[in-house]
Amino acid sequence: MTVRRSHLILALSALAAAVLYNLWFFVLRPGPSPEARPPQPEQPLLDLSGGWPASTSFGDPSSIPPPPAVDMSGQPSWRRDPFVFGNETRDALRPSSRQTRAAEPVVSSILYSASRPLAIVDGRIVGVGDAVGNYRIVEIERDAVVLAVPSGARIRVSMHGSAVKGRER
């Protein structure tokens, strides 16, 4: 990279101007004369010994209106849940009104490696051989988890999905 002579001269002159200005402002500039500003005695901002200063006026607390009533029996007026991010839904977190089988595990994430695959099933980090409810983790694939039921049958649960029924391995 080459620096042109004109740019160097411009930068050095700007630096010299800045140094001269700061020298004048902080060292050489004359301050206000003592006659221009009469000395004022120091006073505390708030004198707590005698209560509030006389110049302070407060309104009557009983004149403040009460907050509006909140109806907790129904849904709020806004559409968005402030505790859900982006396109998430609370359906997985909130039990639905219809009865679902407790035996449907949900796989939300898979960390696949050849030596130690892990998965998050029903909110818990599990590996091969771990138990989830009545199921035992038999195999963790790249996109699904294979579970064994107590009867010996195996089901394959894909990520973010429910169990595929009727498939045995």
CATH code for the domain defined by 107-164: 2.30.30
pTM of the model: 0.37
Segment 107-127 mean pLDDT: 89
Q: Can you give the chain as a three-state secondary structure string?
A: CCCCHHHHHHHHHHHHHHHHHHHHHHHHCCCCCCCCCCCCCCCCCCCCCCCCCCCCCCCCHHHCCCCCCCCCCCCCCCCCCCCCCCCCCCCCCCCCCCCCCCCCCCEEEEECCCCCCEEEECCEEEECCCEECCEEEEEECCCEEEEECCCCCEEEEEECCCEECCCCC
Domain edges within the chain: 107-164
Note the pLDDT tens digit of each residue in 57-115.
566 777 778 888 877 787 777 777 777 777 776 665 555 544 445 557 888 899 988 88
Give the per-residue pLDDT at 128.
92
